[in-house]
Amino acid sequence: MARIRTFLGIDVGEAIRDRLVSLQQELTAVAEDVKWVEPENLHITLLFLGEVAQRETLDICRAAQKAVAKMPAFSISVEGAGCFPNPRRPRTLWVGVGEGADEVGAVHDAIEAPLLDMGSYRRETRAYVPHVTLGRVKGDQPTDALAKELAKHRTWSAGTITVHEVHVMSSELTPAGPVYTVLGRAKLST
């Protein structure tokens, strides 16, 4: 039975994506051992499902659509650079969501419940924090220069967009990096 690596996310749009790529380029000067996310793959992940049976993807799309159909579209601001777990030992470099973070959290929660019921998702142990992953640090060396640069970009802003839909995505891992494909769109009310 075919299995598909699947996640749900929010597209940030071309203008914000371009600004995020500019920030990646700025951070490259101080972030030595980082695998940067490809520009076309920059997004806000809502839920990572992992490998799911291909026959389940239609049910996942339907569950997501039903979960968000009555939720109104909303604006978000993509802003503030940071890292997980902390600046002394960064593993993931990201830009957060300012305005609209509560709404993104509500969309996450609304979709999570039916997917848990379906058995298509296992709840994360850590709290959900909406963000766009910029890159993953490969080395173990603490980088003071990177921590200082991230601190300078704590109030940095990529702009604001209106969220009209959630994408159900497949992620095919290739030697050149993951290739994302939209499997379904769950539209919010307008």
Distance CA 60, CA 51 (A): 13
What is the tens place of the pLDDT at every residue in 38-80? 999 999 999 999 999 999 999 999 999 999 999 999 999 999 9
Q: For residue 27, what are its two tokens? A: 């951070």
Looking at residue 115, its amino acid is L
For residues 180-184, give the mean pLDDT. Answer: 96
Distance CA 25, CA 93 (A): 13
DSSP 8-state assignment for residue 38: P
Domains observed in the chain:
3-187 (3.90.1140.10)
Asked if 16 and 113 touch (Cβ cutoff 8 Å), the reply is no
Mean per-residue pLDDT over the chain, rounded: 93
Asked if 156 and 80 touch (Cβ cutoff 8 Å), the reply is yes
Distance CA 6, CA 87 (A): 29
Single pTM value for the model: 0.93
Active site residues: 43, 131
pLDDT classification of 142: cutoffs 50, 70, 90: low
Distance CA 46, CA 78 (A): 15
Q: For residue 132, what are its two tokens? A: 């766009």
